[in-house]
């Protein structure tokens, strides 16, 4: 059973590629952004608590997302691909505990990289179809990228130290990035077989 984190800035394509990889390698795709949007959509108390932060482009509280991931990990015995989590060093530390509690091992953290102007271009493009209010406002987009630089980028150092981090170029077309990702995941899948 393989457990993978897909890491990267807003707009880099984590959701798209997590979907492709989940399908190809029979992994469960766990997106904290999707989980939070589902809570808002369903009008749950948790959804009401996070709605304003998400609309502003702030990260929501660590405890909230850690709780959601804990619940999701408890609900399956399959390998998982995490998209949008961990996003702070505290979440990364919590994930180590969660994996240990759920008898899982972290196999790899794959960072997808792309230049800032390309991220902004993709978020604008996605705004036309996503209906996401946080994709439609330039100030919110800027703020999400600031949150990424300040709180999420340091997570790469956490995984560099443990030797789990692999970075791939995600600046090109979807199928180019997909091929690069599959090369990494193929190796993981064949390891320890
Ligand atoms: P993107 O990667 O384009 O920002 P996501 O769907 O991953 O899209 O996240 C959307 C929003 O959901 C974030 O801006 C943040 O408010 C919230 N969010 C998602 N995942 C997390 C997380 N792990 N920690 C804190 N907030 C999160």
Q: What proportion of the chain, given as a percentage, has pLDDT over 90?
A: 94
Domains and CATH numbers, the chain: 3-190 (3.40.50.300)
Please name which of 124, 119, 170 lies closest in space to residue 146, comparing C-alpha atoms.
Answer: 119
Residue 191 has a pLDDT of 84
Q: In what order do the strands lie in the sheet with 80-83?
A: 28-31, 80-83, 3-7, 108-113, 165-169
Tell whether the model's pLDDT for residue 193 goes beyond 70. Answer: no
> 99 CB contacts (<8 Å, ≥6 apart)?
3, 73, 105, 106
Q: What proportion of the chain, given as a percentage, has pLDDT over 70?
A: 99
Tokens of 96: 């180590």
Average pLDDT across the chain, whole number: 96
Residue 174 has a pLDDT of 96
Residue 57 has a pLDDT of 95
Which of 15, 16, 33, when mutated, tests ligand 1's pocket best, judged by the most ligand atoms within 8 Å of its CB? 33
Residues with CB under 6 A from ligand 1: 10-11, 14, 32-33, 36, 53-54, 57-60, 65, 84-85, 87, 91, 134, 144
Tell whether the model's pLDDT for residue 192 goes beyond 70. Answer: no
Band of pLDDT at residue 84, cut at 50, 70 and 90: very high
Band of pLDDT at residue 130, cut at 50, 70 and 90: confident
Residue 151 has a pLDDT of 98
The arithmetic mean of pLDDT across residues 119-128, rounded, is 95
Predicted confidence (pLDDT) per residue in 24-60, tens digit: 999 999 999 999 999 999 999 999 999 999 999 999 9
- Alpha carbons 12 and 112: distance in angstroms, whole number: 7
Do residues 29 and 72 touch, judged by C-beta distance below 8 A? no
Predicted confidence (pLDDT) per residue in 9-31, tens digit: 999 999 999 999 999 999 999 99
Tell whether the model's pLDDT for residue 175 goes beyond 80. Answer: yes
Do residues 24 and 72 touch, judged by C-beta distance below 8 A? no
């Amino acid at each position: 059973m393989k457990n993978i984190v897909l890491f990267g800035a807003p707009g880099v394509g984590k959701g798209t590629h997590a979907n492709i990889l989940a399908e190809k390698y029979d992994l469960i795709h766990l997106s904290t952004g999707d989980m939070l949007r589902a809570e808002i959509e369903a009008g749950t108390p948790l959804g009401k608590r996070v709605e304003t932060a998400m609309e502003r482009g702030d990260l929501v509280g660590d405890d909230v997302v850690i709780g959601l991931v804990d619940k999701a990990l408890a609900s399956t015995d399959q390998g998982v691909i995490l998209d949008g989590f961990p996003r702070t060093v505290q979440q990364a530390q919590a994930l180590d505990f969660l994996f240990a509690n759920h008898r899982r091992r972290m196999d790899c953290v794959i960072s997808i990289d792309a230049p800032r102007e390309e991220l902004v271009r993709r978020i604008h493009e996605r705004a036309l179809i996503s209906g996401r209010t946080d994709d439609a406002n330039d100030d919110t987009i800027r703020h999400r990228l600031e949150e990424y630089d300040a709180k999420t980028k340091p997570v790469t150092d956490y995984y560099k130290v443990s030797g789990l981090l692999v970075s791939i170029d995600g600046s090109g077309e979807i199928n180019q990035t997909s091929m690069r990702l599959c090369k990494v995941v193929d190796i993981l899948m064949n390891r320890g077989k």
